[in-house]
Amino acid sequence: MKYRPEIDGLRALAVIPVILLHAGFELFSGGFVGVDVFFVISGYLITTIIIEDIENKRFSIINFYERRARRILPALFFVILVCIPFAWIWMLPSQLKDFSQSLIAVSLFASNILFWRESGYFNAAAEEKPLLHTWSLAVEEQFYILFPIFLILAWRFGKNRVFWMIVVMASISLLLSEWGWRNKATANFYLAPTRAWELFAGSIAAFIVQKQGVQKNNLLSLTGLAAIIVSIFFYDETTPFPSLYALAPVLGVVLLVLYADKETLAAKLLSAKGFVGIGLVSYSAYLWHQPLFAFARICSLGNPSLLLMSTLSVISILIAYFSWRYIEKPFRRKNAIKHSYVFLVSLVGGVFFISIGYIGHSNDGFENRLSPKQSEFLAYFENEIPEWNYNMRLGLIDKYWLACDYYDLDAYRASNPTQVPKEIKAECTKKSETRKIFFIWGDSHAQQFSYGVRNLLSDRLAVRQIASSDCVPKLVSESSDIDYCQKSNFEAYKFIYENKPEFVLLAQAKNHDTHSYVSLIRELQEIGVSKILLMGPSPQWVRDLPELLVRDVENIPIKLSLYRDEKTLKTNEELKKRFSQFDGVNFIDVIDLLCDNDGCLVYFGNDIKNGITTWDYGHLTPIASQYVANNIKSVVVEKTGE
């Protein structure tokens, strides 16, 4: 296969935005498309290699897997090996346990499956997972394992038919991703079936180039380059991905592959020495940046400064150069390790990391590394599934009325998560003939207000609730037997429409969209709801609050100004600006109730354990729920005139 320097330049265009996005630079809000660029490049290169080998009758699946092992595993294993001692030194037991699980998953080429499964009801802070980025490597590795087998079996039908088979599979995968972001967003992001079309796009480009060569077309190649760049700067975390939106960067790469002849302006730009140099080390740069950023966040117990993250971004490139020169390049040469030993060494390395991971997991992250007082403090807040000790001790199932949650928490606790809705209890939507209704609608951050509201208002109002975990309150046109969020929102609106509550409380944890709120509020007002309480987000932390406090358990402050999630504070200001004077809406500034210039309340009273305001990253404890409800009560009394 002829070397194309512009492809290495394209790799640089992929890896730099990924690094800068993960470093916290909001300008590169769509930097995640760099992964999609990598997928297309991989599909193109791998398919080109296999086609050439098959047509020249020299293809060997064993040799192919050997080349992939030489390309991927040495640098990956080295990065993991370096991470282990730092994880031992800096990580809390729960973090080390999660890290240990990721060691096993990475070694089995299944980290995308692990991180999909972890992104549930109580998912950990993603930014503090050193190996989170390996999900994309897992997708590629799964492709590398299956795609050559497909080509070998399908080639008998002829090259042209194989091409159209790939086109059909790519189309199915694209349609699946379009369905997936609407119905199974987390699985859609992480799993190979909804990412395969991006790799297949590269495969399709490989067939075309192999037939007609790289064409010279300045307009189309520059259009492809522009599509990628626009995606990097204009997409953000609210953009559904992968989906039809991913066509912009994916087709952008395809256009460059097809039409960026070396004489085109796009090829000349991408072939610049700086781009090619970074492209050559892009794999190592991608491997190193996430561990550097994750450990920086763990050590700083908060959001590191952009200066520090900028420095680490540069360091990741510098380390990548040495990693590329002294690990990647030597191991690609066949004389570095004999052909017969490649798989043996790979197996030994994998077994070693699986063993380390198993030991860390089975020992619960080695809790004995902490002092007795630290261990006791963390043990009090221990809340692992399936036992759910802290929540069961506090009785949160009853206090937060989880009987009114369509999410099947029992299935989740049994390690069998499902989107299929469970039934809720009749009391959640019971009609009231004697008292006006106060209705709570939203996700688990609406549930957290249930305890305080019912304690303080149930003597004058009939409190009803439909609040389902991770379900943003929004209008939907029909119910669903397979999507609990859709059913939850449909039934909530149906109850409001039929019962005309005096008050509707809306609350959610994240993804606050002012435009969606405006549409929802106006719809509620049109059907007769005149009093709407829009809850601002509660204070959220960069990590579970008990884990922040345990590092200095002897000197826990009443208020904490560090380690607050800055995005939540910014969101709250935007919501306050939009809805504080919105007709018919009372915006309840929860952050203002619990925070001031000195920070946010960590606990009430003198008992830190029983008085703590937040038991995880941002769910309020019952004592904090009641504190916030006192403010809601004053609003309700004023509005009802009682």
Identify whether residues 245 and 209 lie together within a single domain: yes
* Tokens 């080639």, located at residue: 155
**CB-based burial of residue 13 (10 Å sphere; 0-12 exposed, 13-18 middle, 19+ buried)?**
buried
Distance from the Cα of residue 483 to its chain's centroid: 20
CB 231 within 8 A of CB 252: yes
Identify whether residues 356 and 394 lie together within a single domain: no
Identify whether residues 587 and 629 lie together within a single domain: yes
Tell me the whole-structure pTM to 2 decimals: 0.83
Structure tokens at 386: 């399936």
Identify whether residues 581 and 620 lie together within a single domain: yes
* Tokens 């859709």, located at residue: 486
- Cβ-based neighbour number of residue 611 at 10 Å: 16
Residues of the chain scoring pLDDT < 70: 119-125, 301-302, 637-642
Domain membership of residue 368 (yes or no) is no
Q: Strand, helix or coil at 533?
A: strand
Identify whether residues 403 and 303 lie together within a single domain: no
CB 594 within 8 A of CB 619: no
Identify whether residues 323 and 471 lie together within a single domain: no
Identify whether residues 420 and 316 lie together within a single domain: no
Domain membership of residue 382 (yes or no) is no
Note the pLDDT of residue 385: 81
CB 424 within 8 A of CB 486: no
Identify whether residues 183 and 325 lie together within a single domain: yes
Domain membership of residue 320 (yes or no) is yes
CA dist 290 and 286 (Å) reads 7
* Final residue in a domain of this structure, among 343, 362, 381: 362
For the chain, the domain total comes to 2
Which residues on adjacent β-strands are paired with residue 464? 439
Using alpha carbons, list the distances in angstroms from residue 113 to 135, 138, 431.
8, 9, 43
Structure tokens at 186: 């987390």
Identify whether residues 633 and 591 lie together within a single domain: yes
Element (H, E) at 278: helix 273-280
In which order are the strands placed within the sheet that holds 437-442? 462-467, 437-442, 503-507, 531-535, 585-588
Which CATH number covers residue 455? 3.40.50.1110
Domain membership of residue 369 (yes or no) is no
Rg of the chain (C-alpha set): 27
DSSP class of residue 440 equals E
Note the pLDDT of residue 185: 84
Which residues on adjacent β-strands are paired with residue 588? 535
Per-residue buried b or exposed e for 300-336, using 16+ beta carbons within 10 Å of the residue's own CB: ebbbbeeebbeebbeebbebbeebbeebbeebeeeee
Q: Please report, as a single letter, which amino acid is at residue 638.
A: E
Structure tokens at 213: 């060569």
Using alpha carbons, list the distances in angstroms from residue 137 to 109, 140, 461.
8, 5, 54
Structure tokens at 607: 């008992």
Identify whether residues 180 and 249 lie together within a single domain: yes
Domain membership of residue 156 (yes or no) is yes
Q: Is the alpha carbon torsion for 546, 550, 555, 560 positive or negative?
A: negative
Range of the domain at 489: 389-640
Q: Please report, as a single letter, which amino acid is at residue 158.
A: G
Outline where DSSP puts E strands in 306-445.
Answer: 437-442
Long-range pairs for 211-215: beta carbons < 8 A, 24 or more residues apart: 214/4, 214/257, 214/258, 214/259, 214/260, 214/261, 215/258, 215/259, 215/261
CA dist 233 and 104 (Å) reads 35
Domain membership of residue 379 (yes or no) is no
Using alpha carbons, list the distances in angstroms from residue 196 to 165, 174, 395.
13, 8, 44
Cα angle value 205/13/330 (rounded, 5°):
85
Identify whether residues 349 and 410 lie together within a single domain: no
Domain membership of residue 338 (yes or no) is yes
Domain membership of residue 373 (yes or no) is no
Using alpha carbons, list the distances in angstroms from residue 194 to 37, 222, 363, 411, 438.
15, 28, 35, 25, 42
**CB-based burial of residue 90 (10 Å sphere; 0-12 exposed, 13-18 middle, 19+ buried)?**
middle
CB 106 within 8 A of CB 76: yes
* Final residue in a domain of this structure, among 362, 380, 414: 362
Identify whether residues 299 and 424 lie together within a single domain: no
Which residues on adjacent β-strands are paired with residue 506? 441, 534
